[in-house]
Structure 1
Amino acid sequence: MKTILVTGSNGLLGQKITAAVLAGRQFNLIATSKGLNRYKVTKGYQYASMDILDPADVRAVIEKYKPDSIIHTAALTNVDKCQEQQELACQLNVEAVRTLVEICSEYHIQLIHLSTDFVFDGAAGPYDEEGIPNPLSYYGETKLRAEEIVKNAKCKWSIVRTIIVYGIVTEKSRSNIVLWAKEALEKGEPINVVNDQWRMPTLAEDLAEGCLLIAERDATGIYNISGDEMMSISELVAKVADFWKLDKTPIREISSASLNQAARRPVKTGFILDKAVRELGYMPHSFEEGLKLLEKQLHEREL
């Protein structure tokens, strides 16, 4: 049985990979994150505390467990925080990847690295895997620099690019655009939503499945793994309101320019998924199906 080590296992994607393995995927899982394990189930896999910013710690954990594959989900993904704290963003999104590439190359470990649609400027979306990157933000720049480091690795590697990931984690405090919109509208709070950016939102379970399919098949190269429905951010929020039968009156549609955000965002990204469908058998849920799964999980969490 193949051993996979996951970085950032306390995050949304990390937790979904753990859930998929526990649901019957044939892997020996080593979940790693900084500090304590925050996943609700602690049996059926091993957990190790690992500080991704400490090369000696990373090396010690990897040498101990000797994984066949590493799925690297840990990153600083807050776009404006990356713009404002560039040294931290560089450490987490670039230097940590450099450490992993060195170790994976040394021990011939398959590296599956998570990247983003923000490596593109959004002028020509949707993109296939051969699209020409041109990041607008420091976040996108760090993720592109990491991609280049991975591409030069002397081990099997894959880069998984994704878009706006949504889903539910163990702790109620964690949020994402779907849960944020739902909770704000339930309270009747006015929310500002941009109507001039287009994305393909990705169910976290689908992204986890894409990563595991790559690990199973020893697939190499770049793969687009996202949802397959293009929508504006305002359309996304309206769909959330409609699904939970919430009043849409508090939704205020605004332009991106009026937000005065620290980092620029691409206008229209989106991915062409043909390669992942053809080579991996990847089949994403529809956005409606994703919301139905969230509703079921929210109900289970309340029990």
Structure 2
Amino acid sequence: MKILITGSNGLLGQKLVKLLLEKDMEVIATSRGANRVTYLSKPFEYSELDITNAIQVDEVIKKYRPDAVIHTAAMTNVDQCEKEQAECRNLNVDAVGLLVRACETSNIHFIHLSTDFIFDGESGPYREDDQPNPISFYGQSKLDAEEIVKQANCDWAILRTVLVYGITPGMSRSNIILWVKENLENGKPLNIVDDQWRTPTLAEDLATGCFLVAKQRATGVFNISGEEMLTPFEMAKKTADYFNLDFSLVTKVDASTFSQSAKRPPKTGFILDKAKEVLGYQPHSFEEGISILDEQV
């Protein structure tokens, strides 16, 4: 099976390249700029790709004619999306239309990554068929992209996920585990919210979910996340306990303490019954995720 990945330089993209090669898939990695996945022993194709460029999108899809496209590239900084709405829409919505049209020409299985932020967070955790109601521009952009995918004249799947964490060589953004670990090791006090709930997702688990969907050519909407409903404060406590760090440096606060451009849904998280039953998906616990990340630091 030949699989093309967009956003291969990102956290999920890098995990996908590694996993798919381990599964003996033929991998075409695409991203902006030079290839960052240079640390793997197995060979794979790499092609620079600007997903907002219609000509490039058509050329790359026609050149490689993959069996599936796993679309991980997106603008995901929620506050940046609120401030730079035109750029957000271009990357998160318009580009999806270009990719879908390119996949329709050869009925290429289009696998799209979405987010819990399409929900308002008033009644989480959510099932796949619950009614979306985004409260940020980022959430709206991802919901608009989902609507484009659902109208596609090719096989499609939407994988919704929550607060992805992990580590890769040269990663550009941190995550709550590394952030808490680094600050507590340096004796720095932290204020962490305890009134937002999520089901945090290990990047390796999300990559596995993508693989299962591609392998089975599964279609429809799937929740792919962790299973434990935790607040950031609880995630920080588990991190401190794992690394034997001084948790007295952490102060519990509520979200109103912070001034942020975009609203955050208070309680999202996902119910995973469908992914478990249809795909055989089984995520790691948060503690297991910390351990896996620790082995890679």
Aligned to 1:26: 24
CA–CA distance in 1 between the matches of 2:42 and 2:253?
Answer: 47
Aligned to 2:287: 288
CA–CA distance in 2 between the matches of 1:208 and 1:196?
Answer: 29
Q: Deviations over 1:247-273 (max 9, x none)?
A: 112212211112111000011111110
For the residue of structure 1 that corresponds to 2:264, the secondary structure is coil
Change (3 A) 1:3 1:59: same
Aligned to 2:217: 218
CA–CA distance in 1 between the matches of 2:102 and 2:176?
Answer: 35
Deviation at 1:173, TM superposition (A): 4.7
Q: Tell me which amino acid in the other structure corresponds to 1:183.
A: E
Aligned to 1:248: 247
Unaligned runs of 5+ in 2: none
CA–CA distance in 1 between the matches of 2:178 and 2:121?
Answer: 25
Moved more, 202-211 or 246-255: 246-255
Check if 1:14 corresponds to 2:25: no
Check if 1:5 corresponds to 2:18: no
Aligned to 2:127: 128
For the residue of structure 2 that corresponds to 1:231, the secondary structure is coil
Aligned to 1:74: 73
Aligned to 1:94: 93
Q: Deviations over 1:36-71 (max 9, x none)?
A: 000122642111111112111111111111111000
Q: Deviations over 1:220-246 (max 9, x none)?
A: 000000000011111011111111111
Normalising by structure 1, what TM-score? 0.95
CA–CA distance in 2 between the matches of 1:104 and 1:157?
Answer: 10
CA–CA distance in 2 between the matches of 1:293 and 1:15?
Answer: 16
For the residue of structure 2 that corresponds to 1:184, the secondary structure is helix
Aligned to 1:196: 195
CA–CA distance in 2 between the matches of 1:93 and 1:228?
Answer: 26
Q: Tell me which amino acid in the other structure corresponds to 2:84.
A: Q
CA–CA distance in 2 between the matches of 1:239 and 1:75?
Answer: 29
RMSD between aligned alpha carbons?
A: 1.1
For the residue of structure 2 that corresponds to 1:63, the secondary structure is helix
For the residue of structure 2 that corresponds to 1:223, the secondary structure is strand
CA–CA distance in 2 between the matches of 1:5 and 1:277?
Answer: 25
Aligned to 2:155: 156
Count of aligned residue pairs for this structure pair = 296
Deviation at 1:174, TM superposition (A): 3.4
For the residue of structure 1 that corresponds to 2:13, the secondary structure is helix
CA–CA distance in 2 between the matches of 1:92 and 1:192?
Answer: 32
Aligned to 1:230: 229
Unaligned runs of 5+ in 1: 299-303
Normalising by structure 2, what TM-score? 0.97
Give yes or no for contact 2:11–2:171 (8 Å, CA) kept in 1.
no
Aligned to 1:52: 51
Deviation at 1:176, TM superposition (A): 1.5
CA–CA distance in 1 between the matches of 2:240 and 2:144?
Answer: 38
Aligned to 2:262: 263
Pick the aligned partner of 1:38 from 24, 36, 39: 36
Change (3 A) 1:42 1:56: farther
Q: Tell me which amino acid in the other structure corresponds to 2:242.
A: F
Moved more, 48-57 or 156-165: 48-57
Q: Deviations over 1:89-130 (max 9, x none)?
A: 001100110101111112211000000000000111110101
CA–CA distance in 2 between the matches of 1:172 and 1:223?
Answer: 27
Q: Tell me which amino acid in the other structure corresponds to 2:121.
A: G
